[in-house]
Chain A
Amino acid sequence: MTGGFRPVSRRSVLGGGTAALSAAILARHGHSLAQGLSGSIEVGYEGSNPFIGKYVDAAAQAVMDANPGAEIEVIASDAPDYLSQIGVQLMMGGAPDVFLLLGLGSGELATGGLVRPLDDYLETWDGWAQYDEMARFGVTVQGKTWSLPWGLDVYFLYYRKDLFEAAGLPTEWQPQTRDEIIDAAQAIQTSNADVIPYSLYAGANGENGTAADFLSLILSNGGTLTDADGKWFIDSCPIRGTLGFYDEAFQTSGVIPESVLSDVNPIQTMPEAFGDGELAILHEQAKQYGLWIAKDPANAENIGIARFPGDNGLFNLGDAGDAWYINAKSKNPDLGWAFIEAFNSADTQAALSAEDPHLPARVDARALASWSSSPLAPAMLDAAEGITLPPPEPQFRKLIGVVQNATGLVATGQATPEDAVQRYSDELTRTMGKMNVVSETCP
């Protein structure tokens, strides 16, 4: 979130724990790992992820063991804004040969010519057959695959059973309508004034969380962001319904205090508040569940999981999660692919997705006990059919700022939903261009 970049921490010496993992990769997949490769590459990822490092190291070690002439330097970035760091590095030079970034970014990175398509490698990789349509959809742009995800992000509507019980609400809860979420939050509010009943991300401080919640509500209202021709809706019933829901939650019912909006870092503090029992209902990624359980195992009993209600039934928002890209300027893409291939074994995806809850991108990984026995796996498998992913639209990033402004205006009461729709419409038209937007009358 902040401006300056701290120096990256480089780890070229791989640790002892890595040896066992890399040996396992070699033992199981050694025959299929690329061999005879040489030269060196850099592999980068966001160092703040506490789970992934050992798997990155293990895959790098396995490739180096299989290719004595190859050298892989792993870079765990400490940059406070990894996305900005990679963006600048890609444009100015200096980005790692291979890097892990949101799969949703495939559209803009591909359009900018900054990454290399993976199709030639995927054609000869037997693991690609294990990626179902959903896993491929989030990283496919103009018929080409630009990055390889290891696990899909899946959103759930989490609720605190202890707070629900205290408010006289059922501890097994699945709202069928958006109003039922507000009703439950109001009951919590009446029962305990010291907790935050419900949280939606809004405004700029909500960062990508604001866009995720906005998109969930658009889907819930039976809409989409773009029409069949890829034009952006600037006005529609779902947009009006979404901004109306923000107004209802923040202003009319007041079940979300405005302090959620003005919090310095709500995408961190709201999940923390939920884990600490200070927030009753939160729509978040599955990976937060892992952090709550890791912090307090009792949370496994206290946290209920529900799907998001929509006009067309229950659904879960998803996205491609983090995916591996090969820098277009990489001088050694073959070695880069060898690393990506080694990392994305079914075993690694299953083990990592169990620790850092995700839906493994590979279907065969979903069947492995190391993942299927994890606490959130049954809920994710149940949801798998109804997971809705946004396409990796090249202009998606531009939408985020417009959404942040519109939701912020409504949440603070500075604009009515109607005024906010007008602002959304004007700003999105300016941002995307008149030729790229479309309006849908709302009766």
Chain B
Amino acid sequence: MSVEAASWPGASDPNVAPPIKKRKGEQRPYIVAITPAAILLSAFFIFPALWVIYTSTTSLSLTNFSAGAQFVGLDNYRRLWDNPDFPKFVKNTIIFTIGAAMIGQTIGGLLIALLIHHAQIHKHKLAPVAFTAVLLGWICPPTLAGFIWGGIFDYRNGMLNTALQFLHLGRVDMLGNFPMFSVILVESWRGLAFALIIFLGALQSIPQQVYEAASIDGATPWMRFKDQTLPAMRHVIALVLLVTTITTIGSFLMILILTNGDPAYATETIALHAYHQAFTLFDIGYGAALSVVMLLMSFVFALVYLRIAREGGSVE
């Protein structure tokens, strides 16, 4: 045994493989391979994010465009802090995210994935139909989806109220009386399929023998879910939560189409407010400050989820 070989940790254990030796220039192919991704990431995320952070410290707007982006320090953040409606926007964002990302898409997606997986195992004929129905929400262009749901919720001629009247029930003003519930429902419908696909893939990777053994030991369906399915999917659930949360925090198109933040800011989230400020009022600096707050919220959620996922890994 050479001196070099004996120096690596675990050298005394014959079951542990020696580390791969890296010669000079050997990493070049890896660097070349990741360069396009790094360039794309920089072009479409890092540089825009830096530009937004910079812009949030300027007074850039349509009415003073010729004067250029003048540095105003933290003025835009102070304006945001002084805005008595800002806590409402934060609250709306949290409710919208919990409702659409956590409950609607993640929990809803998991439940539907379990049902479809169960149906697939038992070769139920309607399993592909249910899967396709959920996928439709995902592949439907967002603008079209917004108008479809606008047509469903319309107070006078919408499908929902037409059906209710057919049943001799009173009309419901969904967007007027239940605006947040309505936009959460539509956002959940839009994003459910992503969670479903990931969860279905994870469920299919769990060996059936595990469940069969648990059944032999007398485990009920709930115990099999709690003791076998859930622990096996912990990382996947964290991943789905991470992705759907970050996506939902920044998502506002459905709200824009359905309520535009109405009634009286009841559905105005930070993302929608940022859009209104930047692209309706063209107050770009202030809109950018709102975007930075949104970015920070996404980071916080990302850190929490990654920590949960890591802790799950160490427990296992």
**Interface, chain A (partner B; CB < 8 A):** 1-4, 80-81, 84, 87-88, 90-91, 108-109, 111-114, 203-205, 207, 257-259, 261-265, 269, 273, 278, 394-395, 397-398, 401, 405, 408-409, 411-412, 414-415, 426, 430
User: When chains A and B are docked, how far (Å) is the Cα of A408 from the Cα of B264?
Assistant: 5
Q: For the complex, what is the distance from the CA of A205 to the CA of B155, rounded to whole Å? A: 14
> Please, how many angstroms separate the alpha-carbon atoms of A408 and B266 in the complex?
10
Q: Which size class do B's interface residues fall under?
A: 35 or more
| A112–B279 touching, CB < 8 Å | no
Contact indicator per residue, chain B 189-228, by CB within 8 Å of chain A (1) or not (0): 0000000000000000000000000000000000000000
Which B residues lie at the A interface, using CB under 8 A? 61-67, 79, 82-84, 142-143, 146-147, 150, 153-156, 173, 175-176, 179, 252-253, 256-265, 275-276, 279-284
> Which chain A residues border B65 with CB–CB below 8 Å?
90-91, 112-114
B252 CB contacts on chain A under 8 angstroms: 3
Knowing A3-B253, A108-B63, say if A258 contacts B279 (CB, 8 Å).
Answer: no
B263 touches which one: A2, A91, A269, A408 (CB < 8 A)? Answer: A408
CA distance A3 to B79 in the complex (A): 25
Whether A430 contacts B63 by the Cβ 8 Å rule is: no
Among B62, B79, B84, B156, contact of A87 (Cβ-Cβ < 8 Å): B62
Bound-state CA distance A226–B293 (Å) is 34
Cβ of B261 and Cβ of A264 under 8 Å apart?
no
**Given A88-B279, A394-B63, 16 more contacts at CB 8 Å?**
A1-B257, A1-B260, A2-B143, A3-B252, A84-B279, A87-B279, A87-B282, A112-B62, A204-B260, A259-B155, A259-B156, A261-B263, A265-B150, A398-B283, A408-B265, A430-B79
B264, A262: Cβ atoms under 8 Å? no
B82 to chain A, nearest CB (A): 7
A262 contacts B179, CB within 8 Å?
yes
Q: A259-B156, A430-B82 are in contact. Are A412 and B263 (CB under 8 A)?
A: yes
**Shortest Cβ distance from residue A196 to the other chain B in the assembled complex, whole angstroms:** 8
Task: Tell me, in angstroms, the Cα distance from A203 to B256 when the chains sit together.
Answer: 13
Residues of B within 8 A of A84 (CB): 279-280
Ordered by A's residue number, 8 sampled pairs between the chains whose C-beta atoms are within 8 Å are A91-B282, A112-B64, A203-B262, A262-B173, A262-B263, A263-B155, A264-B150, A398-B281
Q: Assuming the A-B contacts A2-B143, A262-B179, are A204 and B262 also in contact, with contact meaning beta carbons closer than 8 angstroms in the complex?
A: yes
Q: Which residues of A contact B260 (CB under 8 A)?
A: 1, 203-205, 207
Q: A258 and B264: CB pair below 8 A? A: no
CA distance A411 to B279 in the complex (A): 26
Compute how far the CA of A2 lies from the CA of B253 in the bound complex, rounded to whole angstroms. Answer: 7
Contact present for B63 and A414 (CB under 8 Å): no
* Complex alpha-carbon distance, A108 and B156, angstroms: 38
Contact A203 B253 (CB under 8 A): no
On whether the beta carbons of B153 and A264 are closer than 8 Å, the reply is yes
Of chain A, the residue at the smallest CB distance from B83 is A430
Cross-chain contact B176 with A412 (CB below 8 angstroms): yes
Min CB–CB distance B190 → chain A (angstroms): 14
Q: Which 5 A-B pairs have the closest CB atoms?
A: A113-B66, A262-B176, A259-B155, A264-B150, A112-B65
Chain A residues within 8 Å of B67, by CB: 113
Q: Which of A398, A408, A426 contacts B262 (CB 8 A)?
A: A408
Question: Does the CB pair B259–A262 fall under 8 Å?
Answer: yes
B154 contact set on A, CB distance < 8 A: 263-264, 269
Write the chain A residue with the least CB distance to B65: A112
Give B261's nearest chain A residue, CB to CB: A204
Using CB atoms, name the residue of chain A closest to B143: A2
Shortest CB–CB separation between residue A254 and chain B, in angstroms? Answer: 14
Residues of B within 8 A of A401 (CB): 276, 280-281
- Contact partners of B265 in chain A: CB under 8 A: 405, 408
User: Is the CB–CB distance between A108 and B62 below 8 Å?
Assistant: yes
Q: How far is the CA of A259 from the CA of B83 in the complex (A)?
A: 29
- Asked if A4 meets B143 with Cβ closer than 8 Å, knowing A88-B279, A205-B260, the reply is yes
Q: Are B173 and A3 in contact (CB under 8 A)?
A: no
User: With A and B bound together, what is the CA distance between A395 and B62 in angstroms?
Assistant: 10
Complex contacts, B259 vs chain A, CB 8 Å = 204-205, 262, 264
Query: Given the complex, which residues of B lie within 8 Å of A426, measured CB to CB?
Result: 84
Cα A111 to Cα B150 in complex, Å, equals 38
A1 touches B263 (CB 8 A): no
How far in angstroms is the closest Cβ of chain A from B84?
A: 7
Give complex CA distance A2, B61 in Å. 21
- Given A84-B279, A259-B155, A264-B154, A114:B264 Cβ within 8 A: no
CB-CB under 8 A from B179, the residues of chain A are 262
CB pair B173 A259 closer than 8 Å: yes
A205 to B154 CA separation, bound complex (whole angstroms):
13
CA distance A88 to B176 in the complex (A): 32
Of A111, A203, A259, which one neighbours B264 at CB under 8 angstroms? A203
Cα distance A114–B62 when bound, in Å?
8
Across the interface, B275 reaches (CB within 8 A) one of A3, A87, A405, A430, namely A3
A88 to B257, CA, bound (A): 20
Please name the residue on chain B nearest to A411 by beta carbon. B263
Docked CA distance A111–B61 (Å): 11
B155 to chain A, nearest CB (A): 4
Q: Smallest distance from the beta carbon of A95 to chain B beta carbons, Å?
A: 12
Q: How many angstroms from the CA of A401 to the CA of B260 in the assembled complex?
A: 11
Say whether A1 contacts B256, CB under 8 Å.
yes
Q: Which residues of A lie under 8 Å from residue B264 when comparing CB positions?
A: 203, 405, 408-409, 412, 414-415
Q: A1-B256, A88-B279, A259-B173 are in contact. Are A112 and B63 (CB under 8 A)?
A: yes
**A111 touching B156 in the complex, CB below 8 Å, given contacts A2-B253, A203-B263, A408-B263:** no
B155 — which chain A residues lie within 8 A by C-beta?
A: 257, 259, 262-263
